[in-house]
Structure 1
Amino acid sequence: MSTSISLITLFGIIPILLGYLANVRSSPRKRALYRLQTKRIKKWSAIEYSTTVFIACTAAFYIAGLMALAGIKFEQMTYFYLLIVTCTSALIFLCCRWKIPEFLAKHWEKVKIFVAPAAIAIATLSKIYSDAGIAELTGLSPQNLPGAQLLLTLIMTPAIWLLGLSLFIGYASIPLMVILLAITLIRDFSNKNEPQNKKPAPNLLHFMTIAAVALFAIMLLTITQKIAGKNFYEPRLRKSIAFASFQLPTTYCELPETKGAGIAAMDDDRAAIAIPDKELGYRFELISCKPKQQEKEQISSTLRDFAKNQKHASSAPSATSEALSN
């Protein structure tokens, strides 16, 4: 696939672009036309910019789908990122179309009445699900991994917000689509008896709004379904747990030094070890671990040497000051 894309780009797209640029440079009329178009673009409003970005992202998404049908396929994560970009462009277009930021700023005190309880509920759910995730993925008590508890709670909070919003928008988009289609039919029916020369031109923004609502709802649900898939979240959560709580080296439990593996110390001469795994990210095992302890005589000798060095270091500046005074 990558070889096909490289060949098409090298011998197809790049020569076409270079030829067209050379044609534009050699034509004063085309250069003047592009300068005029550039000045017009600079004067665009926010809705015009968001409309252009939404159209470009949607076109790129469908082009990638058609290329996949033709046998030219990208990596799976490339389609996922393109889905996120297209969904975000649809959201930005709808925000500019309906002036959602201005509405929220104007009625924020009323909106907080609904947001505050939702935030408390989601914070509680994120703590519950983070503990459940640690217990499920590691087989250990969440209380033994406080760092993982904190990090997974931080990760779960936006994930639950995304899940809740996607479900709400998915259900709300159904009546919203019906309302928008009804408005379109009523508008067409009211303009049916108008003279041909007085009929208003079709409102492109109205049709794009219907398309943006449909695409945003469908894509957001698709993104949420992808993130909620076990194959997606499990390796990443395992790596997060290992990063947050398994910081000690394997030599702490007198095991062979292993790059990537880590130890989480526990009470009663126990510990857990995180072992790298290609499919799961990490595997977690409970082991007996009694850290190596030095003999009392060795510690006493170390303390005497330290005290001797401290005494020598403190006497050296005094000798120097006496020499200077003399």
Structure 2
Amino acid sequence: MLEVLLCVTLFIIAPALSGYSANVYATPRKRVWCYRRYLIVKDWSLTRHVMMIFGFFAVVLYATGALAKLGMPLNPLFGRSLLGLTWLSGMAFLYCYFEISKLRDRLPWKSLAGLLAIGVATLSKVLADHVIAELTHLPPRELVGAQLLLSVIMTVSLWSAGVAIALGAVVFGSLFLMLRSMVRDYFSMRKKQKYDALPDLAAVVAIYLCALIALTAMAELSRKSTYEKPAREAIAFAAFTLPASYCGLSDKRGAMIAPLANDTAAIAIADDKLGYRFEPITCVPAKKSLAEIEALLGTSAR
């Protein structure tokens, strides 16, 4: 996909832009026309600028989707990046369109954010323990590092899920935007005044598109087939920090150990399909005798 876009840019878009710019530069009337359009665009409000950026990414997204439907291979990284840019530009446009910045002093945002933060932190801890117990079949309280890391990941995921659900709820309210736009357009026609309905229509499209992208992403991430392998790797990275030789095992396969209570431990074994497999084992770490320690102390003193 990137190769096709590069070829189209180099051999179609770049020559066309070069020829058009040369034509404009050679024609004074066209230069004046372009300069006037530049002044008009320069006087646009921030909302309109962001709306145009969102429109550009939305058009590119739909064009890329059409090419993918026609059978052209699409780079997954390019597709995810385009979806992310479309979602971010859409959210930025909605922020400017609804003038969220003016609501800061009208609503108790700090109190609401504090309550939400407490609820999200509590729920993320519960979900992190549930995931650890489900994937490792070990007590989560014994894997403190995994608890901390998964709690952070769950906190971000819960906030993202909350935003996705809120956008899904706002979709129903977008019908009122359509009705308001139609009513304003009707009265402007009666008064023989032109009403710009483009921002309203763009807001409706942004709401639907952002909600669709967010809800689809959260539905995909909530599948066990999606999160299982990364979660296992995160648990192994955060909690299994000792080499297998700690329990007298061989270090050849790169297995890692997490010590547990009562002379037991858990071993993380690398797996191509699951990432890691976790098994409880009996582990009595080798301890040096007092004579060996005295010998080491004497050697180091010399």
TM range (shorter): 0.7 to 0.9
Number of equivalent positions: 298
Could you list the structure 1 runs, at least 4 aligned residues long, displaced by more than 4 angstroms after superposition.
30-44
Matching residue within 170, 189, 194 for 2:168? 170
**Cα displacement (A) at 1:42:** 5.4
Q: Which residue of 1 aligns with 2:106?
A: 107
- CA deviations 1:203-257 (Å, max 9, x no partner) are 2112111111221222221121122222222222111111111111122222221
- The equivalent position to 1:156 in structure 2, one of 148, 154, 157, is 154
Cα-Cα RMSD: 2.5
- Give the Cα separation in 2 of the matches to 1:253 and 1:37: 74
Does structure 2 retain, via aligned residues, the 8 Å contact 1:265–1:271?
yes
1:281-300 → structure 2 map (5 Å cutoff): 281-300=275-294
Q: Which has the larger radius of gyration?
A: 1
What is aligned with 1:234?
A: 228
Q: Residue 273 of structure 1 aligns to which amino acid in structure 2?
A: I
Q: Deviations over 1:73-102 (max 9, x none)?
A: 224454333222211111100111121123
Verify the 8 A CA contact 1:80 1:223 in the aligned structure 2: no
1:220 is aligned, of 214, 220, 230, to 214
- Matched residue of 2:281: which SS? strand
**Range with bigger deviation, 33-42 or 139-148:** 33-42
The 3 A distance-change label for structure 1 pair 21 and 212 is closer
Amino acid at match of 1:237: A
Name the residue aligned to 2:177: 180
The amino acid across from 1:132 in the alignment is: H
Output the CA distance in 2 between the equivalents of 1:266 and 1:182.
63
Displacement after TM superposition at 1:37 (Å): 5.8
Name which of structure 1's ranges 221-230 and 13-22 shifts more when overlaid on structure 2. 13-22
Whole-angstrom distance in 2 between the partners of 1:221 and 1:10: 32
Distance 2:136 2:283 in 1: 17
Q: Is there any run of 5+ residues in structure 1 with no aligned partner, and where?
A: 310-326
Per the alignment, residue 273 of structure 1 pairs with 267
Selected match of 1:146 from 144, 147, 153 = 144
Q: How far, CA to CA, are the matches of 1:90 and 1:304 in structure 2?
A: 70
Contact 2:185 2:197 in 1 (8 A): no
2: distance between equivalents of 1:11 and 1:152?
43
Alignment TM-score, normalising by the size of structure 1: 0.82
Seen in structure 2, the aligned counterparts of structure 1 residues 36 and 129 have a Cα distance that, compared at 3 Å, is: same
Q: Deviations over 1:171-220 (max 9, x none)?
A: 2321x12211221232244345x27xx24144211211111122122222
Which deviates the most, 71-80 or 232-241?
Answer: 71-80
Match of 2:125 in 1: 127
1:98 corresponds to? 98
Question: Which digits, 9 at most, give the CA deviation of each residue in 1:25-78, with x for residues without a partner?
Answer: 644247947677666655543213211210111011111110111101224454
Q: Match for residue 20 of structure 1?
A: 16
Closer, same or farther in 2 for the Cα pair 1:229/1:35, shift >3 Å? farther
- Give the share of equivalent positions with the same residue, in percent: 32
- Report the alpha carbon displacement of residue 154 of structure 1 after superposing the two structures with TM: 1.1
Aligned positions of 1:287-326 closer than 5 A: 287-307=281-301, 309=302
1:260/1:82 Cα in 2 relative to 1: closer, same or farther (>3 Å)?
farther
| Structure 2 segments unaligned to the other structure (5+ residues) | none
Cα distance 1:17–1:168, how it changes in 2: closer, same or farther (>3 A)?
A: closer
